[in-house]
Amino acid sequence: MKKVLFVSFESLPFVKTGGLADVVYALPRALDKSEFEVKVVLPLLKVIKDKYFDQMEYQDHIYINSGLLHEEANVYSLWMDEIEYVFIENDMYFYRDSVYGYQDDAARFAVFSNAVLEMMIKIGYYPDICHEHDYHTAILPALCKLRFNAIENIRRIKHIFTIHNLAYQGVYNKKVLFDLLGFEYRYFEDGSLRFNDDANFMKIGIVFADIVTTVSRTYASEIQTPEFGENLDIVLRYRHNDLYGIVNGIDTESFDPEKDDIYKNFNVRTYKKGKEANKRSLQYELGLEDRPDTLLVGMISRLTWQKGVDLVINSIEHWLESNVQVAILGTGESKYEYRLRMMEENHKGRVVYYCGYNEGLAHRMYAGLDMLLMPSLFEPCGISQLIAMRYGTLPLVRETGGLKDTVEPLNEYTREGRGFSFAPFDHFAFNHVFEYAYDQYYNHRDTWNALIRNAMRYDVSFAKSAREYEDLYRKMTDYNG
């Protein structure tokens, strides 16, 4: 039995700020339990402690001495769905209203990573594999190999580091490496821990992990280029033999149109009546005109430049010249929120903007929309297009990252495909494919319905991805002997 420890700063059902939490929740559940014993370790954040603390079992007390950092922490555990979750409690660094965004985030990540290793030593738990996720935990492989390497049980651990979004790297003053992580200066001087004249946690994770993965095959290729490499493309090309792209899946139990708490449940056999009922109910809930035959398009997203929000906002007025309704759920940059509020005000009944995030409404939108818009500038994998397809809502995406890997565009001759896509990141290409989709909806409904069936039958679970990760786990441990 191989022991696998997932190390992350967030995971459903406890805390979520993005797709990272979905992966850390779903992937351990999809692994073969007869071969892999999985634990997940998380910081005991405020949002977790306030809700789940009474259900946790105390494990031990640990001390963290790392450079100038001297802290104490408690270790708790909680079993859920055959997975043991381990929590590191230190209220000074983790009991905060938000998950990220503090001036001392570097110290928070340093405390957590050091605590994970001290926890291993104290309770005598040494995994065969540590699976670290994103820059928050990327320093762990280097800690094991440069600072804790005198301990054989830690030295033999293999590390797999997953990049969920290369745009967020954790770049800090180099003093973090010495004052908070206790590294010797020579490792900075020889370039191992240096990025320009700073510390870059993402870069360190890429260099010191045994295997590096990211969340789609296309994104794995893209990030090795200057256009998408975020100044780390040279490092990634250096590790290209150990770099793998494995597309994400979703938790198909949480996202199931047959069982979900939506207006009317449906499956691939009953989708016509189901989609119609969900659409009309969604129109009523959102205050849109009761027009069941109107093409209802939407977006469920963070409102940032990366997501192609400019393309959508600058196109809405043009779309409204035709028979289209628009519903958008999300929050983000204030300039986008303001423009969407104005559009809703100027086009009552045809445009609606929900500022914020509402999980239940998101599910109802996936069920009730005709088409989901994801014209991202870049998208490592994307989760929304996978959910949309499961609910028979056709995605319109830009051909980048995981969107390209998961959304096969319509072939109108064979009726193959699961949505619509375009390549150049510009308004002409975006609106051209939108008009093509519009034509399919109104003038080729048989083809549209064929796409819905294709989309709903597409396997969006983590099953295939889990098998690929299992192969990597075996590769690392078999090589280790």
Least confident residue range of 245-254, 368-377, 420-429: 245-254
Is 12 inside any structural domain? yes
Contact 406, 382 (CB under 8 A): yes
CA-to-CA distance for 275 and 278, rounded, in angstroms?
5
**333 & 231 share domain:** no
Provide the CB-side half-sphere exposure for 411 (13 A, CA).
7
Q: Rounded to an integer, what distance in angstroms lies between the CA atom of residue 310 and that of residue 251? A: 30
Q: How far is CA 82 from CA 28, 39, 79, 129, 216, in A?
A: 10, 10, 6, 19, 27
Residues 145 and 281 in one domain: no
Residues 322 and 222 in one domain: no
State the DSSP H helix or E strand holding residue 448, giving kind and residue range, or none if neither: helix 445-457
Say what the pLDDT of residue 17 is: 86
Q: List, for residues 389-405, the tens digit of each pLDDT value.
A: 999 999 999 999 999 99
Contact indicator for 296, 319 with CB cutoff of 8 Å: no
Query: Can you read off the two tokens belonging to residue 132?
Result: 């670290």
pLDDT value at residue 481 = 42
Beta bridge pairs of residue 172: 199
Domain of residue 130, residue span: 2-249+463-480
What's the CA gap between 154 and 149, in Å, rounded? Answer: 6
Tokens (6 digits) for 118: 């001290």
Pick the closest to residue 212 from 4, 476, 432 (CA basis).
476
Cis, bond preceding 28 (omega within 30 deg of 0): no
Residue 151: CATH number of its domain: 3.40.50.2000
Among 236, 155, 250, 158, residue whose Cα is nearest residue 200:
236
In a domain, 266, yes or no: no
The β-bridge relationship of strands 211-214 and 158-163 is parallel
Contact 250, 25 (CB under 8 A): no
Q: What is the token pair recorded at 287?
A: 């205050």
In this structure, are 308 and 357 located in the same domain?
yes
Q: Is the pLDDT of residue 9 over 90?
A: yes
pLDDT at 480: 47
Q: Is residue 263 part of a domain?
A: no
Confidence label for 88 from pLDDT (cuts 50, 70 and 90): very high
Range 426-439 average pLDDT: 98
What six digits make up the tokens of 394?
């056709």
**Residue 13 φ then ψ, to 5°:** -85, 10
Closest by CA to 201, choosing from 246, 245, 141, is 141
- What does DSSP say about strands 198-200 and 171-173: parallel, antiparallel, or unpaired? antiparallel
Q: For 247-323, where are the E strands, in sequence order? A: 295-300
Residue 123: pLDDT above 60?
yes
Residues 467 and 452 both lie in one domain: no
* Measured torsion, CA atoms of residues 201, 202, 207, 208, in degrees rounded to the nearest 10: 60
Contacts of 237 (CB under 8 A, 6+ apart): 224
Q: Has residue 202 been placed in a domain?
A: yes
> Higher model confidence: residue 106 or residue 357?
106
Q: Output the average pLDDT for the chain.
A: 96
- Are 419 and 470 contained in the same domain? no
Same domain, 476 and 449: no
User: Does 259 reside within a domain?
Assistant: no
Does residue 254 lie within any of the structural domains?
A: no
* pTM for the model: 0.91
User: Residues 6 or more apart from 309 whose CB is under 8 A from it?
Assistant: 299, 301, 303, 332, 333, 336
Q: Return the number of other C-beta atoms located less than 10 Å from residue 293's C-beta.
A: 10
Q: What is the pLDDT of residue 299?
A: 97
User: Which two tokens mark 388?
Assistant: 């949309």
Whether 475 and 406 have beta carbons less than 8 Å apart is answered as no
Going by pLDDT thresholds of 50, 70 and 90, the confidence category of residue 357 is confident
Is residue 330 located within the same domain as residue 426?
Answer: yes
Same domain, 349 and 452: yes
Q: Residue 266: name the closest of 287, 281, 251 by CA.
A: 281
Q: Above 80 in pLDDT, residue 331?
A: yes
Q: What single DSSP character describes residue 392?
A: T
| Domains: count for the chain | 2
Per-residue confidence (pLDDT) for residue 479, from 0 to 100: 56
Residues 92 and 221 in one domain: yes
In a domain, residue 51? The reply is: yes
Contact residues for 15 (Cβ-Cβ < 8 A; gap 6+): 21, 42, 45, 47, 48, 99
Contact 77, 57 (CB under 8 A): yes
Same domain, yes or no, for 320 and 450? yes
149-188 per-position pLDDT tens digit = 999 999 999 999 999 999 999 999 999 999 999 999 999 9
Which residue type does 98 have? S
- The answer to whether residues 418 and 317 belong to one domain is yes
C-beta neighbour count of 460 within 10 angstroms: 24
Task: Indicate whether 366 belongs to any domain.
Answer: yes
